[in-house]
């Protein structure tokens, strides 16, 4: 959640019912608090006692955390000043004592991130917030690798250097869907115009542009459509890349929590779901990346071999056959093999490898389970801006009378003779929902998408399909 409140009882009841675990922060975040003020002490004690007694009987409650980033921000901004007097009484005395007395055995952590060995946001112990990728600075994982140039300091390839033990916060910013912005913006919104900048609450506001330019080749002169799809796919590719890295490291790394799920206003943010509840591309990517058992590709650095891994976070052994291939964007297959896999519960291991292709802009790596038992795994070997992603699609909408009355349609999409990227049915309103969106289609491949949340009596002809090429351009990279 993105609101600094204790949720109502209904939220925790639903989490109990759905088996969702809750990491519950006390309401301290990002700044120093004077813990010697008698009035503030009394207020914090009353609030903590009430909330701990109210909530700790819920099975969903996994942990109490004393603060969010208070220690980390102190270490960055006031590194020369001691922490004593600025919240330590709350985090090390009052709050743990309250949880111990009334918390029904729920564990307490003094904050997030929090580590005992050297730094609050390090990689040796505790949890860390991995913001090297968005902010570009070294925040505990080390400086950017020498293989990344200056324009790539905040690129998602930096996730692969992170040796953290539990990643409790990381994210990439993106733009809401056009139908959401249209509902809340009275004037036309243009990239880097007043309305656009007003909806960015990051500093500096143009931080997103470095990532969009280096990965997708989108600049200030491009359209809002181009900015939107570029931000969606950079967020989706980046988060999937980071999650795969963290999961491959289990059990050394035993957790990854994405910032953030939902959004409290119609702005540009790190959310997977925009203000109207419409999933962005990253929502679908993260859903697949967090499946109990996943395949993923790893290339330690440019020019290194391609490793195929299987990560099993379930409680049972997984066995099956994976089809691993290097494919060209026009459909040709350069390497194709069947890999028999058996992975114990809680294990993550490499199952095969391929030599690094010499022409990284012409091929990509993919792995699929013929029985559909795992989400497909795909890895591009170069920036999106350097890849031939100009494939086109055709589509057919099927919606009978009952479908139209129910606000439902089925759209069958077929790729032409080239790889189609970021394929999705364009939403007509923020109420629309899709069982699949922002997916790949290899040449000749077909997929049917079910759309719900359409207005009853809608016109099926109003539904259209878009791809990366429709919004970015269809030029083939040479």
pLDDT for res 111: 93
Same domain, 165 and 223: yes
Domain contains 464: yes
Domain contains 136: no
Same domain, 174 and 73: no
CATH number at residue 266: 3.20.20.80
Confidence class for position 124, pLDDT limits 50, 70, 90 = very high
pLDDT for res 8: 95
Same domain, 337 and 297: yes
Q: Using CA atoms, how far apart are residues 224 and 230, in angstroms rounded to an integer? A: 10
Residue from 118, 116, 72, 67 nearest 91 by CA: 67
Q: 9 near 61, Cβ under 8 Å?
A: no
Same domain, 279 and 407: no
Same domain, 342 and 400: no
Same domain, 399 and 336: no
pLDDT for res 234: 97
CATH number at residue 461: 2.60.40.10
Domain contains 55: yes
pLDDT for res 157: 94
Same domain, 314 and 363: yes
Residue from 342, 305, 306 nearest 322 by CA: 342
Domain contains 139: no
Confidence class for position 477, pLDDT limits 50, 70, 90 = very low
Domain contains 299: yes
Domain edge (last residue) among 361, 384, 407: 384
pLDDT at 355 over 60: yes
Same domain, 209 and 95: no
Structure tokens at 472: 């970015």
**First-last CA distance in the chain:** 44
Q: What confidence tens digit (pLDDT) does each residue in 286-337 have?
A: 999 999 999 999 999 889 999 999 999 999 999 999 999 999 999 999 999 9
Give me the number of domains the chain comprises: 4
Same domain, 217 and 89: no
- pTM, two decimal places: 0.94
Q: 185 near 252, Cβ under 8 Å?
A: no
Domain contains 453: yes
Instruction: Assess whether the previous peptide bond of 204 is cis (omega < 30° from 0).
Output: yes
Residue from 202, 113, 116, 211 nearest 162 by CA: 113
Q: Using CA atoms, how far apart are residues 177 and 429, in angstroms rounded to an integer? A: 10
Entry field: residues in the chain? 478
pLDDT for res 3: 54
pLDDT at 84 over 50: yes
pLDDT for res 195: 86
Domain edge (last residue) among 289, 324, 355: 289
Average pLDDT for 97-116: 94
CB atoms within 10 A of CB 37: 11
Domain contains 444: yes
Domain contains 117: no
Same domain, 450 and 322: no
Confidence class for position 473, pLDDT limits 50, 70, 90 = low
Same domain, 379 and 397: no
Q: Using CA atoms, how far apart are residues 237 and 241, in angstroms rounded to an integer? A: 6
Q: What confidence tens digit (pLDDT) does each residue in 187-236 have?
A: 888 888 888 888 888 888 888 898 999 999 999 889 999 999 999 999 99
CA dihedral of 272, 273, 279, 282, whole degrees rounded to 10: -10
Same domain, 266 and 322: no
Domain edge (last residue) among 350, 384, 418: 384
Average pLDDT for 145-173: 93
Structural domain span for residue 33 = 9-112
pLDDT for res 478: 33
């Amino acid at each position: 959640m993105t609101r600094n409140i204790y949720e109502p009882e209904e939220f925790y009841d639903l989490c109990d019912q759905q088996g969702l675990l809750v990491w519950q922060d006390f309401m301290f975040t990002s700044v120093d608090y004077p813990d010697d003020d008698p009035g503030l002490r009394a207020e914090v004690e009353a609030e903590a006692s009430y909330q701990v007694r109210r909530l700790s009987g819920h099975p969903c409650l996994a942990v109490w955390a004393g603060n969010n980033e208070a220690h980390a921000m102190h270490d960055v901004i006031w590194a020369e000043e001691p922490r004593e007097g600025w919240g330590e009484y709350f985090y090390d005395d009052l709050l743990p004592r309250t949880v111990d007395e009334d918390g029904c055995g729920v564990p307490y952590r003094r904050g997030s991130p929090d580590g005992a060995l050297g730094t609050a946001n390090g990689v040796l112990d505790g949890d860390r917030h991995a913001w090297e990728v968005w902010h570009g600075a070294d925040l505990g994982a080390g400086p950017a690798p020498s293989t990344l140039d200056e324009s790539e300091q905040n690129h998602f390839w930096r996730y692969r250097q992170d040796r953290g033990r539990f990643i409790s916060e990381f994210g990439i910013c993106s733009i809401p869907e056009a139908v959401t912005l249209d509902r809340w913006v009275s004037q036309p919104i243009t990239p880097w115009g007043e309305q656009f900048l007003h909806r960015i609450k990051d500093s500096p506001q143009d931080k997103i542009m470095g990532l969009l330019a280096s990965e997708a080749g989108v600049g200030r002169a491009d359209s809002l459509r181009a900015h939107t799809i570029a931000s969606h796919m950079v967020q989706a590719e980046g988060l999937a890349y980071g999650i795969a890295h963290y999961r491959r490291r289990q059990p050394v790394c035993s957790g990854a929590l994405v910032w953030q799920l939902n959004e409290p206003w119609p702005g540009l943010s790190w959310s997977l779901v925009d203000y109207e509840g419409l999933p962005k591309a990253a929502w679908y990517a993260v859903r697949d990346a967090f499946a109990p058992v996943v395949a993923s590709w790893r290339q330690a650095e440019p020019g290194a071999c391609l490793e195929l891994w299987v990560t099993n976070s379930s409680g049972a052994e997984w066995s099956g056959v994976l089809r691993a291939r290097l494919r060209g964007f026009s459909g040709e297959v350069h390497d194709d093999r069947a890999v028999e896999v058996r992975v114990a519960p809680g294990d993550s291991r490499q199952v095969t490898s391929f030599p690094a292709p010499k022409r990284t802009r012409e091929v990509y790596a993919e792995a699929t389970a013929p029985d559909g038992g795992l989400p497909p795994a795909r890895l591009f070997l170069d920036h999106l801006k350097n890849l031939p992603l100009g494939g086109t699609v055709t589509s057919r909408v099927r919606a009978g009378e009952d479908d139209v009355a129910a606000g439902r349609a089925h759209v069958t999409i077929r790729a032409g003779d080239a790889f189609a990227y970021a394929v999705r049915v364009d939403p007509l309103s923020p109420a629309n929902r899709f069982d699949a969106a922002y997916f790949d289609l290899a040449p000749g491949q077909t997929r049917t998408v079910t759309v719900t949340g359409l207005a009853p009596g809608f016109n099926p002809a109003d539904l259209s399909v878009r791809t990366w090429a429709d919004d970015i351009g269809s030029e083939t990279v040479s």
